[in-house]
Structure 1
Amino acid sequence: MSNRTTMFLLLGFSDVRELQILHFVGFLVIYLAALVGNLLIFMAIAFDHHLHTPMYFFLMNLSILDLGSISVTVPKSMANSLMNTRSISYAGCVAQVFFLLFLVGADFSLLTIMAYDRYIAICKPLHYETIMKSRTCVEMATCAWISGLLYAVLHTGNTFALTFCGSNMVDQFFCQIPQLLKLTCSDSYLSEVRVLAFSVCLVLGCFVFIIVSYVQIFKSVLRIPSEQGRHKALSTCLPHLTVVSLFVCTGIFAYLKPTSSSPSPLDLVVAVLYSVLPPIMNPVIYSMRNKEMKAALRRLTGCR
């Protein structure tokens, strides 16, 4: 294409019609599972006054972000498979990049805040109610959403300020910045370095904060005299630590591995892992080892 790109073509999972239908059905089941799981978590917390605490308030926000992030990528891929097309408009690609970065950035900021919440609850329990007031929690959650918004504005603007005038084939099932940078006819090296450097610094800073928080948490847990008390403290931390590990490991593997010149099945698998797996697994992780959440879900659904 010699002129400026006005439409992109996303990588399909297969050209065989039967496999396209299978992909549609598979993604539909995954999307419905994430939709039901996150909505149940949201409704259980919203309607159960026993869960109106800072930890569950942040978890409710996390469910909204997870539901939004999977809704940005999966429905478009499903529609393309069902209609046997690969196209996405330039504006659609911009919107997909912006909202995915916004939701994922806010997601990780919120996970960092949740680590701080667990630190205060376990290391400074006597001051927990005075530190984690309702207004403070709302302000912290708002900061997480705003940080995601600023992150998305910065990187989306930086990426689409470049000119795309070469091939319009994106080697991924959604618009992904590393794949888009391969299509630009501008000098994208400095742009790519800035994006990568800023992202690594941001993620590394949040991750170090989470690690330091958990080091202090585990030190406090080891000083708890009763085994039951230690188990109760750890049971509130392990789901969050599992979610953080899943989020960080899949994201790092997806963005820091070398980009290949030609599409590979591994690239698609990795993209599915970091964009689809966390929104599905988070409700399962938080409900399996949490007695209060399981009790609230039973009350919500009427199951014994």
Structure 2
Amino acid sequence: MKNPENSSEENLTEWMEFVLLGFAEVPHLQWFLFGLFFVSYAIVLLGNGTILLVTRVDPSLQTPMYFFLGNFSFLEICYVSVVLPRMLMNLATQQRAISLAACAAQMCWVLILGATECFLLAVMSYDRYVAICKPLHYALVMNHNVCTKLVAGSWIGGVPVQIGQTFQIFSLPFCGSNQINHFFCDIPPILKLACGETFINQLMVYIVAVLFVSVPFLLILISYSKIISKILKLPSATSQSKAFSTCSSHLAVVVLFFGSAIITYLRPKSSHSSGTDKVLSVFYTI
């Protein structure tokens, strides 16, 4: 007869893959969802690819705003490409297995690129603040050297922390079900499968979310409060409309991305719902 402790250890060591359930609860919508997300992916690639190309080759667009926009478009292509191709494959083939290593790699890239997006959106809001509130100093403050350093900092700023967080989560023992009730390897559904105490991991998730999500969001709010105050003081409605038009699309992305990310990572663990998490994740990943 096997020792129960040995059996438990064997169960833990045999865990070499997860199963991404995705949208398995609605089997009659699988091909509809495949078509919807395939079209979305094509639009993301075409739209952002076009922006990236135009901002690189058009001499009139060699300004800080379009430099940041080009980097943001490239980031969006990378971000959705970490999640959507596998999700489309799972919807098409119904083969939902993902290896432990592939799951860890996907989570790590999602976290790194998500942190980059937070930082880059904050940098873009600062660029708009300088352009609208300090127009005479714009060329001096946002010179090429400063813009390059801001973009480089956005790309690499979160790498060490997010690699460490991913390693910490996947160092946990997993037992019971290996089914992830999500369409990609995100932190909340993975932690639900972990055995033992996960308080330290949950605490780290909150700390990282505050540093990489809440702080950039607060900086964006400060920038836009100054921008809006400045715009309202402009003498004509035409000037106000022109100033608002340079910020409106950026502000829409900020609301969708930060709103869904903050609710996902900073709300209490007890209020997490798999269905809600999936819907929110669509906003900040797709």
Q: Output the TM-score relative to the length of structure 1.
A: 0.84
Partner amino acid, structure 1, of 2:12: N
Say yes or no: does 1:42 pair with 2:29.
Answer: no
Pairing of 1:1-304 with structure 2 (within 5 A): 2-4=11-13, 5-14=15-24, 19-257=29-267, 264-276=274-286
Q: Tell me by how many angstroms 1:18 deviates.
A: 5.8
Amino acid at match of 2:20: L
Deviation, 1:253, is 2.7
**How far off is 1:62 after superposition?**
0.7
* Aligned residue type for 1:246: L
Per-residue CA deviations over 1:205-239 (Å, capped at 9, x if unaligned) read: 11111111111112222222232222221211222
SS at match of 2:140: helix
Name the amino acid aligned to 2:191. Answer: L
Cα 1:184–1:224 change in 2 (3 A) is same
Shift of residue 47 of structure 1?
1.4
Change in Cα spacing, 1:78 to 1:260, as seen in structure 2 (3 Å) is: farther
**Larger CA deviation: 225-234 vs 116-125:** 225-234
- Supply the distance in 2 between the matched residues of 1:128 and 1:47 (Cα, whole angstroms): 23
Query: SS at the partner of 1:187?
Result: coil
- 1:88 match: secondary structure: strand
Q: Distance in 2 between matches of 1:30 and 1:138?
A: 30
Corresponding residue of 1:295 = none
> Is the Cα contact below 8 Å between 2:127 and 2:142 reproduced in 1?
yes
Deviation at 1:17, TM superposition (A): 6.6
Change beyond 3 A, Cα 1:17–1:215: closer
Preserved CA contact (<8 Å) 2:79 2:110: yes
8 A Cα contact 1:101 1:151, kept in partner = no
Name the counterpart of 1:297.
Answer: none
Shift of 1:73: 0.9
SS at match of 1:9: strand
- Pairs aligned (count): 276
Identity over the aligned pairs, expressed in percent?
Answer: 40
Where structure 2 has 5 or more consecutive residues not aligned to the other structure, the ranges are 1-9
Distance of aligned partners of 1:263 and 1:253 in 2 relative to their CA distance in 1, 3 Å threshold? closer
Query: Could you tell me which amino acid in structure 2 is paired with residue 9 of structure 1?
Result: V
Which structure has more relative contact order (CA 8 Å, sep 6+)? It is: 1
Runs of 4+ more than 4 Å apart:
15-18, 257-264
Question: Do the aligned partners of 2:17 and 2:99 also contact (CA within 8 Å) in 1?
Answer: yes
5+ residue gaps, structure 1: 277-304
| Alpha-carbon shift at residue 266 of structure 1 (Å) | 3.4
Q: Aligned partners of 1:178 and 1:245: how far apart in 2?
A: 22
Cα deviation code 1:177-205 (max 9, x no counterpart): 11111111242111111221221243221
C-alpha offsets along residues 141-176 of structure 1, whole Å, 9 cap, x if unaligned? 000001132342132122122222332111101101
**In 2: Cα distance, 1:261 partner to 1:85 partner:** 30
- State the AA in 2 paired with 1:128: Y
The answer (yes or no) to whether the contact 2:182–2:274 under 8 Å persists in 1 is: no
The answer to whether the Cα contact below 8 Å between 1:254 and 1:274 also exists between their aligned partners in 2 is no
Counterparts in 2 of 1:223 and 1:107: CA distance versus 1, 3 Å: same
CA contact (8 A) 1:21 1:81 kept: yes
Q: 1:222-271, CA deviations, whole angstroms, 9 ceiling, x for partnerless residues? A: 22223222222121122211111111112123334455799754333222
CA RMSD of aligned residues (A): 2.1
Instruction: Give the match for residue 299 of structure 1.
Output: none
1:109 Cα deviation (Å)?
0.2
Q: Distance in 2 between matches of 1:151 and 1:171?
A: 26
Moved more, 265-274 or 49-58: 265-274
